[in-house]
Structure 1
Amino acid sequence: MTLPVLPNRLDVAMVAGEASGDLIASLAVAQLAAAGRRIGGIGGPRMAQAGFAVQVPMERLSVRGYVEVLRHLPGLLRLRADLARQWSAQRPGVFVGVDAPDFNLGLATKLRTAGVRTVQLVCPSIWAWRRERAPKIRAAVDEVLCVFPFEPEVLAKEGIAGRFVGHPLADMLPATPNRAAARNRLGLPEQGAPIVALLPGSRRDEIKHLAPRMIAAAAVIQQRIPEARFVLPAASGERRAELAVHLAQSRATIQMLDGRAHDALEAADSVLVASGTATLEAALFHCPMVIAYAMPALSYWMMKGKGYLPWIGLPNILCNEWVVPELIQDAATPQALADAAIKQLTDTAHAVAIAQRFAGLHAQLRQGFPTQCAQAIERHLNAA
């Protein structure tokens, strides 16, 4: 594939490789475009709608799994080399890599060597694992724009400049959740029936390893709390079909939803949730949760012990304490999941304390991300 050449020099060259990056970047793109800046590169439909010139669609980078990455690696390396050559010659005012560090840090290193200012939006998780990546980040970028408040300090210890710009989800989600309205939207009773959301994840392996445990836990909860109601968002038609197989064997009454995970989280009194971004979303809806994760035994053996923190769930990491339970691998039994959720459903003081802690976290992360991010990029443009 020949890399298209844009007619005008870019003020901001940008690369985002996944749907989450498309969303995050679009917020900053809208602000920069409104100020008359020319922004282009690799991006998605949200970025394009905000004023981004798409040279290459982000699907070119959206590759998951070791086998798929290896199969596409030659093409990805060619694409990165082509971008490096073109942008080194055209000299955009600043390059912004949006997440996707495996692709973006290598590109940023080449552009920085050519005299282009470079910024990484979303800090690679060196605080959780792969700390050996720090020298590569230090060589690649002038600054990292961080979405978590503790990250600039972690980066500073590695000699890397970092700036906290807030988390986009904290701005997008309501500061005060409206549980009654969410229940009304889902056709659930507003009072008298505890609501439990089940979020086993959006990938096939997560469904395989977590959905049966969560569905079985729902049956245990319903036996203890007969009036409890359960909602299970399906991320896609394919996931819905996989979940339906497990639901057919369930003794609990569970309402499956087409998407609508945010409605489910806003409506819920407790959520059984796979470790990942959904845990942060649950916290931003101020919802008590039980974090679970399970994977194939060999993968777990390989990953075990590589983390630097006592937690894997973002809410606990951000709060720097055990706010909600984490049940990992063999510990994530249906009975254990149910017991932890039942405590949140029946111990009002415990549930209120969790909700209040998450409300404080929400306020801390709610910093006006679009403006903060755009202003940080403008500072680099002005210094170029």
Structure 2
Amino acid sequence: MVAGEASGDLLAALLLQGARSRWPGLRAHGIGGLSMQEQGFAAQWPADRLAVHGYSLEVLRRVAGLLRIRRQLGNQLLDQRPDVFIGVDAPDFNLGLERRLRTGGIPTVHFVCPSIWAWRPERVETIRAAADHVLCLFPFEPALLASHGIAASFVGHPLATRIPLHTDALIARASLQLEPDAPVLALLPGSRGKEIDYLLPRFLQAVQLLQQQMPELQCILPAVPSQVLRVEAMLQEQHMQGRVRLLQGHSHLALQACDVTLIASGTATLEAALFKKPMVISYAMHPWSYRLMRRKQLQPWVGLPNILLREAVVPELLQDAATPAALAGAVLHWLRASAVRSPEWQQLMARFTSLHESLQADTSTLAANAIESVLLR
């Protein structure tokens, strides 16, 4: 198995949990993170080695190292002949490796359909050559892949089962020792170093503006362990140590506790929707990278809640539009709507609940069934 970044590590760990129920003697190794290792996974390289951001020099410096890891792992797997290879997300790394292994006679499964419906539609040819089967998180994806001759199964989104349909914010606030009656804002600037570099200073400056208008506002900032030192340094630079509480991990607890989240585009926006939290979605990167990505974008939105609901139900402030003032204004709107449970807030809760229900399925069993069908072939 190969999983990249925090979201892939979590998805892979949930898949491993179900696979072990089907095959108690299962042995799994490759590239993964702490959540996978808790399921007995042997990580030869950590998941965050695959975390890259954009197209510019910050990525190019790491390409040689990533290609070396992929070549080394591919050589090893072709020699060891595992029963199946499962690539979890990280398509730029995994699809090339899967194609090589499949050509060498090793069955391949790709978990998480690349977003060919959102951008880079040409990638469908790569998927067809790389994967014997694709495990899809969203109900509309298998039919789309089938139209291109790719075997696929909807397995539900594991997070939709793991996150309860209804959660109690007060329990989470008590666990985090937050005031129960004062508003809470969760800051989620991403898990990659460059995401944090581009977004967190803007988020912290937005918090400064918000706390001027709402002094009682409590702010929490969950950070993955590998980024804690980076985040601590930024809090010190912005003189925000006492105004924003840094959490080591606990992103789900932060989302459960908050009234609103200011959040980087990515899987975390879907997690926020499953926790039924109003959000302001933001993203920023090197200008050259942003121009390239915009040319390949097929959807008018970048946030998963907006894409899946086919409507701009929550605001997106990207690149130059992501100013501290604009971010603060959009967050303040949702904080006030949440405080009075406005009709707009109630409608958002209903949309997110419907989305949550549509993504629920017995992921472990469905994924194991699909993997077993590949093994039998």
* TM superposition outliers: structure 1 runs of 4+ over 6 Å: none
Task: Tell whether 2:227 aligns with 1:224.
Answer: no
Deviation at 1:134, TM superposition (A): 1.0
Aligned position for 1:149 = 139
| Matched ranges for 1:1-384 at <5 A | 14-36=1-23, 38-44=26-32, 46-47=35-36, 49-50=38-39, 54=42, 57-59=44-46, 62-63=49-50, 64=52, 65-87=59-81, 92=83, 94-191=84-181, 193-236=182-225, 237-248=228-239, 253-347=243-337, 348-381=342-375, 383-384=376-377
Report Cα offsets for 1:248-277 as digits up to 9, x if no partner: 069x93333333222221111111111122
Deviation at 1:165, TM superposition (A): 0.3
SS at match of 2:317: strand
Deviation at 1:114, TM superposition (A): 4.8
Percent identity reads 47
Distance 1:142 1:207, change over 3 A: closer
Distance 1:150 1:195, change over 3 A: same
SS at match of 2:209: helix
Deviation at 1:204, TM superposition (A): 3.1
Query: In the alignment, is the contact (CA less than 8 A) between 1:294 and 1:332 conserved in 2?
Result: yes
Report Cα offsets for 1:26-78 as digits up to 9, x if no partner: 333333333336443425465455455x4x61438834433122234234224
Distance 1:161 1:228, change over 3 A: same
SS at match of 1:158: coil
TM-score (norm 2): 0.86
Deviation at 1:147, TM superposition (A): 1.2
Aligned position for 2:56 = none
Distance 1:180 1:85, change over 3 A: same
CA–CA distance in 2 between the matches of 1:228 and 1:259?
21
CA–CA distance in 2 between the matches of 1:374 and 1:134?
24
Query: In the alignment, is the contact (CA less than 8 A) between 1:120 and 1:141 conserved in 2?
Result: yes
Distance 1:244 1:221, change over 3 A: closer
Deviation at 1:232, TM superposition (A): 2.4
TM-score (norm 1): 0.84
SS at match of 1:42: strand
Distance 1:315 1:247, change over 3 A: same
Task: For structure 1, list consecutive stretches of 5 or more residues without a partner in the other structure.
Answer: 1-13
Amino acid at match of 1:23: L
Distance 1:232 1:372, change over 3 A: same
Task: For structure 2, list consecutive stretches of 5 or more residues without a partner in the other structure.
Answer: 53-58
Task: Select the structure of larger CA radius of gyration.
Answer: 1
Aligned position for 1:11 = none
Distance 1:75 1:233, change over 3 A: closer
CA–CA distance in 1 between the matches of 2:105 and 2:194?
43
CA–CA distance in 1 between the matches of 2:122 and 2:92?
13
CA–CA distance in 2 between the matches of 1:212 and 1:15?
32
Deviation at 1:355, TM superposition (A): 2.1
Distance 1:39 1:323, change over 3 A: same
Q: Larger deviation: 253-262 or 299-308?
A: 253-262
